[in-house]
Structure formats: structure tokens, C-alpha cells
Structure 1
Amino acid sequence: MEFRMEKGIGKLLSVTGCAWLFDAMDVGLLSFILVAIQKDWGLSQVQVGWLGSVNSIGLAVGAIIFGLLADTKGRKLMLMVTLLTFSVATGLSALASGYLVFMVLRFFVGLGLGGELPVASTLVAEHVPQHIRGRVIVLLESFWAVGWLLASLLAYFVIPAYGWRITLVIASLSAFYVFILRRHLPTDQKAVTKNSARPTLSPWQRIRKLFEKPYRRSTIMLWLVWFMIMFSYYGIFLWLPNVLVGKGFSMVHSFGYVVVMTVAQLPGYFTAAWLVEKWGRKSVLATFLLGTAVSAFAFGFATTVPMVLLSGMLLSFFNLGAWGVLYAYTPELYPTAIRGTANGLAEGFGRLGGILGPLAIGVFLSKHLSFEAIFAVFSLAIMVAVLTILVLGRETKGVELD
């Protein structure tokens, strides 16, 4: 019996994780494609920043809309819909004739990408026993590193040889994975049944419930942390190839260095997965974010290849490990009836930081602000998140989900 349960969890993790992987691959590809598009279309730094921010606007809207729908229509169905949305929009963006068309299509790509993650993490959290739930969700998030690694490899081998349009066509093939999700994902009948057994709450009632006394403190904490971590993550990682080019490295070398930095995400996830059931969510999240802040500050001052790679790898290690813990932490703070809504809204609010991050660094670069100053801003944002967790966070290790 125990073996069958563990086998079922492994299947759930791998099937959902591959969908997560495709999400990461699409997000990662944008950072490389922006470099190529900027050269092809002669875009300014601010225009490039807007492309990243419009993508993040879609991520925010998608997280909120599909988070709300997941509580009424089911997690599995919404996961399939979000995968199709970003895959089809990615394929269409390969045909974009200019800047504005590409920008509109990136919004729809972001819509699907943003909706998938909170829905997937909620689905997995509700099918895993509490004693390994945190570890499993951090491992789910580790598929993000594999997706970024695939994006890095596609950028390194395909973009220079065949161009960014062919790269997007290849990425759009993830649409066919919906058939795997339909066949192999478990139904989320438990959540649907629980919600249907209670008086139906309107979307506005579910949102208001997040700010009632039992959940208000957690909601404020999570929204601030999600905002700060996304502000720094998307500001840094969407611009990472551009930043390396700005530090004097060639486009091809920059892509290669990002591949090396991306590999460091995997041990970050695995370390966080091991620690999260030992130290607890709050301590591990605060520790990994502190490591992120220090690494980001060091990266801003790095000029030599060894220092760029070392600080960049540490930044990937700590930042993505923290993301995994945050995805485990968020759904554990709310009951089933509002869990999808809470997850989606926390991530949706955080996406506002994801909008401002890429836009801010574009403006900073256009104003000739130094890399040291830019990365100090991101370090400060992460430190705000650390203090927020320490003051407002509560531990959820071992908590049973209703």
C-alpha cells in the first residue's frame, strides 16, 4: 500500500512537473529572445523593458483569473487550459511582424504562464500527505530549473543558427502535452466536492475572506514577499543575458554563462527540498532569501569571468531554492474553499513586482545607472522580504490541509 502511494505521488510529481518545465522554458526563452529581437528590430532599452513587463502583466492577470476559476471549475481543467493558452500564443508570436504585435501576443503568453503555476502547486498540495508535502512541492518547483536549462540550450544552439522565430515554434510544441495531462493527472474531485458541499462563495467573497482575521496576517505577509521576490527575479533573470553583454561579454558567451548559472538552480532546489521538512518553511525561506540578497549584491560588482560565474551560480542556487519553498508555503496557509483563490491572488499581486522589475532595469540602464547600484536595489528588495517573513510569517510544517 505504501509503495503504491509513493508511486502515485511520483507520477503526480513527474506529470505536473513537466507542465511546470514548459512554463519555465517559455519564460526563460524570452530573456534570450529579447537580446536577438533588440538587435533585429533596433529596440531601445526601455522598449525591451516593456516587453518583459507586458509579459509580466499577463502573468499577473492569469494568476488571478485562473486561481479564481480553479476553486470553481477544478484544478485539472484549468491546468490544461493554461498550458494550451501559452503554447498557442507562443507559436503565434513566432509570426509577429513587429514590436506591437509581439507585445500583444506576449501578454497572452503570460496569461497562460501565470495561471498555470498557482493551479499546479495547489493541485499537488491537495494530493500529497502532510509529512512530505513541502518536499514534494519544492521538487515540483525544481522542474523550473530544467525548463530554464532547456531554454538556455535552445538559445545557445538554435537562436544563432536558425533565429528566434524557429526557437519559438519549437517551444510551442508543448501544446501537445495537454493530452498527457488529460490522461494521467488525477481528478481533483476532493476539492470540487468540498467546495460544492458548502454555500457557494462569489469571487468577491473569497477575496474578502483572505483579509478576515484568521488569514489577514498571512495574506499581507505573502503578498509582500511574492512582490519582492518577483521584482528581483524578473528584473535580474529576464535581463541577465543583456546584463552580461553590458558587462563586455559577447552574446554567444553570455548565453553560455547563463547555461552554467542555470545548472546551479538544481542543487538549490534539492537542498531546499531536504531542509524544508527539517527546519520548516519559515526558516528555510528566510535563509535562502538572505543568500539571494548577498549574491545579487556581489553579482553587481562582478567583472571577471570567475566572479560573474560564482556570484551568478550562488544567485541561482539561493533564489530558486527560495521560490520552491514559497510555493510549498503559500497553499498551506489557507483552507480548501479559498486555497486556489489565495494562491492565485498572492502570486498575481507578486506579478506586479515582475512587471516593475524588468521595466525598472530598462529605465536604470537608459539613465546609465551602474550595475552595482542596480543590483543593490534588488538586494534591498529581497531584504524587505526577509524581514517581512520573520515578523509576520508563521510555521506550517506538519499542518494538515482540510
Structure 2
Amino acid sequence: MASSTVNAGPRLDRLPISGFHKRVLWLIGAGMFLDSFDIYLAGGVLGALAKTGWSTMHLNAAFLSSTFIGMLIGAFTAGMLGDAKGRKFTYQFNLAVFGLASIAGAFAPNMTWLIVCRFFMGLGLGAEIVIGYGSVGEFMPPAVRGKWSAYLSLITNSALFVSTFLGYLIIPTIGWRAMFAIVGAGAMIVWFIRKKMPESPRWLESKGRLDEAEAILRAAEEESARVRPLPPIVDTGRRVAAKTTLLDLFSAAQIRRTFVSIVVQVAVNMVIYGFIVWVPTFLMKQGIGMASSLGYTTLMSLGGPAGALVGVLIADKVGRKNGLIAVAALAAVIGWLYGHSTSVGMATVLGFLLFTLTYLMVALGIATYVPELFATENRMRANGIAGCAGRITGILAPQLVVVMYMAGGIKDVLSIIVAACAAMAVVLAVFGIETNRRSLEEIAPAAGPDADGPLAGSPLSHESNH
């Protein structure tokens, strides 16, 4: 297939930030926010279901399992669909799936039906995360790509507080069904608004749909030119539109990147599902009452948006690889200190810091770095495979926590967190490449059978993957 004449990457990379970029962020972010809201509402809803006798602990566990299984399948299928059918089609499809399933859940006649509905919610929820984080960077200029990906992480993770707060207001008064109705109705509204979302010109170009890519690029250029005159196009070497398969991610050319992306997802999810979700339990096991433990946990949870906000501020300054290494190393130290904390005050401060560092790793790693490592034609599949590894970690980590807690208490649990963060830092130091302020076309693996580096013929092709 001949090289494309559209040159989508360099044309997008030179654009000053305009209303075009802000619309893309908010249209993707609205779905991501609802996705996160739907995930986090589980805690309050399950508590109410158990308290009223509508459910049991066994059925609640099945509800959580169905969520994770759905998200695991959703992450994988979204990766395949996203590269085959396009970013816009896929996130519209999965938004409709979890929106309609949420509405159905609001009318579930019994817990069994709610569990089935939750599986379908999970399908859409797992897919939305893969496509959302994978798509936003394809529109953003290299100099601020990390910042805007971190903005998406900030929007997404702010749903933790909103979902918890609305659950506190709504579940005791109106009931748990209203929570599913809210997210379902919101998803349908966003689905309708998001029909105006542009498809990624990079993806359209990779599929040879050049007229569609050209139309979107011209509209974006016209809007951005109103901000300031456009600089000349810097051609970094045009990529040939290529047919790829899932197995290409495990070829000599890309296995290193796939390995790094999986390690990042596993490590971050190990911290979230091995520590973050267990904080109220840990505090109560230490003799603190339920109300107080939830209060302390709420204080710590402010580290979620704080971490994403730090990501906005530093992502394009410190870089992804070096930033993640530093944050993972610091998280390992804080995790060790938390395991040896001697007072509730100390645990709260260290817990807040660990929350902050965890969601900073989400912003720098999952939202930004992992999607950057791959070429347009394989980006969603790679994001989906890494996301699957993260979901499997989320399923297994709680079981590991129980075993470790029974063996040696919170110190042994935190040793897992320390080990995961340390392992991620080492893997990044040895195998990671720096993507900061570089065009996605420059970062992409070379087309040769064994080369793993920037695009051959690009200005950076002679550099090592530092």
C-alpha cells in the first residue's frame, strides 16, 4: 500500500490548542466520568442491598465477579474493535452497552437479574477505559499530550468522590435503583451528544480513508488557525498504512513495549486492588470504628484527584519513563512506611500520599504512556491486552491480600505493594523508552521485522531508546 498523502500526524502535531481539542477532551471525558461513576457506585449499592435483605454476601461477591469478568472481556474486545472499526464507533458502541445495561439494572426484579445486567455493564465499562485513554493522545500535540491525557485521568477519577457523595445522599432516601438510573440516563445523553465526536484522522489515514481524514483535519486546522497562525508542517516521515494482527504485539519488534505496558497495568492495579480498596477494612481491623474509618478513607481518597492534578502539572516536564520510575520508587517507600505506621494520624497522611502517587501513576502510565508506545494501527489492541492484564490483577489481588493478611497482617500486605512498585521501576529503567514531547509517528515501532525503535527515516531514528 502506498504512503498516505494526508500526513495526519504532522498536521495534528503543529496545531495550537483550540476549541477542537477541548471538545475532544470533554466528549471523551464525559463517557469516562460515567464509566468511573458506574464502577464506584458498587460499594454503596451493595451495602444497601445486603442491609435490606435483597442480597447476600455471596450474591454481592457474584455481582463484583460479574463486573470484573465483563470488564476483562470488554477490554479485549474494545482493543480489537477499536483498531478494526474505529475509535468513534467503538466508544459509542460500548457507551450504549453500559448505559442500556445500567437502565435495565435499575428495573431488575431480583439480584440474579441485577448480576446479569452488571456483566453487560462491565463489558461497556472495560471497553470505555481502553478506548478513552487510547484515543485522546491521537488528537493532541506532542508538547502537551501528557498534560491533556492527565486531564482525562482527572475527569475520570473525580467520579470517585461524586459517586460516593451522591450515593450518600440518594441511596438512603430514594433507593439504590436511582443510582443505576442516573448513570444510564447520563450515558444515553452523552451517547447522543458524542455523535458529533470526530474520528481520529490518524486511524482514518491508517485505513486508507483519506477523504474523511482530510475533512476532519481541515476543520481542525481552520479552528486552530483562529487561535494563532499555524506553523509549517514538520514531516517526521510518513507511515505506510499497514495491516496488523494481535500477534504482532508479541513479535520481536514490539514484545518489549507490550511487556512494559503489561507491567505498568499490573503494578498500578495491584496497588489499587491490593491497598486502595482495602483501606477501610485495614483501619477497622486496627480497632477504628466504621464511621471514623470511612472518614479517614474519604480524606485519603482526595489523593485521587490530587494525583491526577499533579500529572497535569508535570507530565510534559519530567517525561513519562523517568516520571513513572521516580513515582513508583517513592510509592514503594511510602508503602513500606504505611505498613510500619504507629498512629492513625501517620497512617492517614501516608495513605493520602500513597493515594496521590497511585493516581499519579494512573495519569502518567495508564492514561498517557501505555497508548503512546504503539503505532496507530495497533494502539487499541495493545491498550486492550495491557488492560486485560490489569483486570486479571484486579480479580486476583484481593485473594492475595487475604492470604497475606492472615499470614502477617498489614505489613505483609504492604510488602506486595512495595514489590509491585519496585518491579515496575526496574522494568521501566531496563526496557522503557521515553515518549515525552515526541510525535506518535516517531515513537512507533519501525516496520522492520526485528527493529524496535522510532520510525525509520525520522529525525530521531538514529537515537537510542533512552
* Counterpart code for 1:149: F
User: Partner residue of 2:268?
Assistant: 229
Where does the alignment leave 5 or more consecutive residues of structure 1 unmatched?
Answer: none
Find the counterpart in structure 1 of residue 301 from structure 2: 262
Name the residue aligned to 1:138.
150
The answer on whether the counterparts of 1:49 and 1:362 sit within 8 Å (CA) in structure 2 is no
In structure 2, the residue matched to 1:165 is 177
The letter for the 1-side match of 2:379 is R
1:156 partnered with 2:168: yes
- Partner of 1:194 in structure 2? 206
* 2:220 pairs with 1:180: no
Instruction: Answer yes or no: is the 8 Å Cα contact 2:108–2:114 preserved in 1.
Output: yes
2:331–2:358 CA contact under 8 A, matched in 1:
yes
Aligned length: 396
CA-CA distance at 1:68 after TM superposition: 0.9
Separation in 2, partners of 1:163, 1:300:
38
Match of 1:22 among 23, 31, 34: 34
Q: What is the Cα deviation at residue 191 of structure 1?
A: 0.7
What's the TM-score once normalised by structure 2's chain length? 0.76
The one of 23, 31, 34 aligned to 1:11: 23
Segment of structure 1 superposing worse, 10-19 or 165-174? 165-174
How far 1:125 moved relative to its partner?
1.1
Which stretch shifts more, 373-382 or 234-243?
234-243
Identity %: 27
User: CA–CA distance in 1 between the matches of 2:242 and 2:140?
Assistant: 26
State whether structure 2 residue 395 is matched by structure 1 residue 352: no
Separation (CA, whole Å) in 2 of partners of 1:247 and 1:105: 36
Q: What is the match of residue 83 of structure 2?
A: 71
2:139 to 127, 131, 150: 127
Letter in 2 for 1:124: V
Considering Cα pairs closer than 8 Å and 6+ residues apart, tell me whether 1 or 2 has the greater RCO. Answer: 1
Task: Please give the secondary structure, in 2, of the residue aligned with 1:82.
Answer: helix
Aligned equivalent of 1:284: 323
Q: What's the offset of the Cα at 1:368?
A: 7.7
User: Any conservation in 1 of the 2:273–2:397 contact (CA below 8 Å)?
Assistant: yes
Aligned to 2:379: 339
Measure, in 1, the Cα distance between the counterparts of 2:342 and 2:116. 36
Distance 1:218 1:31 in 2: 35
- 3-state secondary structure, aligned to 1:8: helix
**Comparing 113-122 with 32-41, which one deviates more in the overlay?**
32-41
Q: Quick check: which has more Rg, 1 or 2?
A: 2
Q: Is the 8 A contact 2:205 2:241 kept in 1?
A: no
Match of 1:110 in 2: 122
| 1:134–1:325 Cα contact (<8 Å) kept | yes
> In the superposition, relative to structure 1, how do residues 130 and 199 fare at CA in structure 2: closer, same or farther (>3 Å)?
closer
Change (3 A) 1:362 1:162: farther
Superposed CA offset, 1:21-80 (max 9, x none) = 111112222234344444445745x87555434322222211110111011211112112
Q: 1:258 and 1:6 mapped to 2: Cα distance?
A: 38
Q: Is 50-59 or 342-351 further displaced after alignment?
A: 50-59
Q: Aligned to 2:81, what secondary structure does the other structure show?
A: helix
Residues 85 and 302 (structure 1 numbering): CA distance in 2 closer, same or farther, change over 3 Å?
A: farther
Deviation at 1:144, TM superposition (A): 2.2
SS at match of 2:318: coil
Please point out which of 426, 434, 438 is paired with 1:399.
Answer: 438
CA shift, 1:219, in A, is: 0.7
Q: Distance in 1 between matches of 2:340 and 2:105?
A: 36
What is the distance in 1 between the residues matched to 2:359 and 2:419?
18
Q: 1:34 and 1:241 mapped to 2: Cα distance?
A: 15
More deviation, 131-140/86-95: 86-95
Q: If the length of structure 1 is used for normalisation, what is the TM-score?
A: 0.87
Distance 1:239 1:150, change over 3 A: same
Name whichever of 217-226 and 153-162 sits farther off: 153-162
1:86 is displaced (CA, Å) by: 1.9
The one-letter amino acid of 1:237's match is I
SS in 2 for 1:396: coil
Q: Which runs of 5+ in 2 are unaligned?
A: 1-11, 210-239, 442-466
| Contact kept? 2:266, 2:393, Cα under 8 Å | yes
Report the 3-state secondary structure (helix = DSSP H, G, I; strand = E; otherwise coil) of the residue aligned with 2:434. Answer: coil
* Cα distance in structure 2, aligned partners of 1:232 and 1:109: 24
**What is the CA distance between 1:358 and its match in structure 2?**
3.1
Contact 1:31 1:239 in 2 (8 A): no
Q: Hey, what's the Cα distance between the residues in 2 that align with 1:165 and 1:272?
A: 35
